[in-house]
Amino acid sequence: MALLSDIVSYADDYLRVGEFSDYCPNGLQVEGQLQVDKLACAVTASLAVVEQAIEWGAQCILVHHGYFWKNERATVVGMKKARLRALLCADVSLVAYHLPLDAHSVVGNNAQIAQKLGISDLRPLQKTKKTPIGNVGMLTTPTRITEFVNLCEQELDRQAIHINTGAEYVQKIALCTGGAQHMIEDAVEQQADVYLTGEISEQTVHIARECGLHFIAAGHHATERYGAQALAAHLAEKFALEQQFFDEINPA
């Protein structure tokens, strides 16, 4: 059992929340009961996840995609009402970390995926940003692209879209989880052999073809499953909490 305020202030510091300018508030988004011993985690605070976590007995839900995004409607109606009502009626907190959780060097979405895929020597993908998101790193040996795509599919448990527009053997891998297809240009600038992200757009295919690198879209949800779990495990150990991951299948 730990105080919600202690958990949140520790996580805010650990993820260096103050250094990021983001599209949503990071940290405590919805305040519930003050003591926590069961911490649920998930990619997105969907209604299904909130309901399952409440049924499990969570006092706090930790997610990568929370609420209150810039440019969304500010009114509490419809879907937003249902989600907030579920949390508030059960007195359960919602804690969300977006870009700070992508970027963290240990529990971050990118760091976690790099580890799974055997990509080491990680450096920032974005050269000029104060708080860069995404990484570029190396496989230990030059690897056939088909083998690397298979590895991604196995480790992320998801069929990938592969735009096969690079060399047969690859070693320098750029990656950024989620909807970061626009950052393919950072991967080009870094002279990466492959750019791996979650989503794909029409123009991504042309950029990959014309710049001569492989592009892999392995799913927004699938690539962002690991940061919240790693952070929840870290917090559970630090504060002696019970923790559980709630996954909701999402093809995007």
Q: Which of 63, 110, 73 is nearest to 243 (CA)?
A: 63
Residues 69, 59: Cα–Cα separation, whole Å: 23
Range in contact with Zn ion (rule: CB under 5 A) among 67-75, 135-143, 146-154, 219-227:
219-227
Closest to Zn ion by CB, 193 or 224: 224
Using CB under 5 A, which of the segments 24-32, 80-88, 124-132, 220-228 binds Zn ion?
220-228
Least Cβ distance, residue 11 to Zn ion (angstroms): 18
Residue 116, classified by CB atoms within 10 Å of its CB into exposed (0-12), middle (13-18) or buried (19+), is: middle
Residue closest to Zn ion when measured from CB atoms? 178
Q: For residue 65, which amino acid is it? A: H
Does 219 contact Zn ion by CB under 5 A? no
Question: Measured from the CB of residue 71, what is the shortest distance to Zn ion in angstroms?
Answer: 16
**Minimum Å distance from CB 98 to Zn ion?**
7
Nearer to Zn ion, 145 or 217 (CB): 217
Cβ atoms of 42 and 246 closer than 8 Å: yes
Q: Smallest gap, in angstroms, from Cβ of residue 102 to Zn ion?
A: 7
Which CB atom, from 166 or from 227, has the smaller least distance to Zn ion?
227
Name the DSSP class of 18.
G
Q: How far is CA 140 from CA 176, 183, 198, in A?
A: 19, 24, 23
Q: Among residues 223, 186, 225, which one has the least CA distance to residue 207?
A: 186
The yes or no reply on residue 134 touching Zn ion (CB under 5 A) is: no
CA distance 19 to 84: 28
For Zn ion, give the closer residue by CB, 186 or 224. Answer: 224
Binder of Zn ion out of 100, 108, 178, 219 (CB under 5 A):
178
Give the interface segment with Zn ion, choosing from 29-37, 170-178, 187-195, 211-219 (CB under 5 A): 170-178
User: Which ranges of 58-144 does DSSP label H, i.e. alpha helix?
Assistant: 78-90, 99-103, 109-116
**Residue 227 interacting with Zn ion (CB under 5 A):** no
Task: Enumerate binding residues for Zn ion (CB under 5 A).
Answer: 178, 224
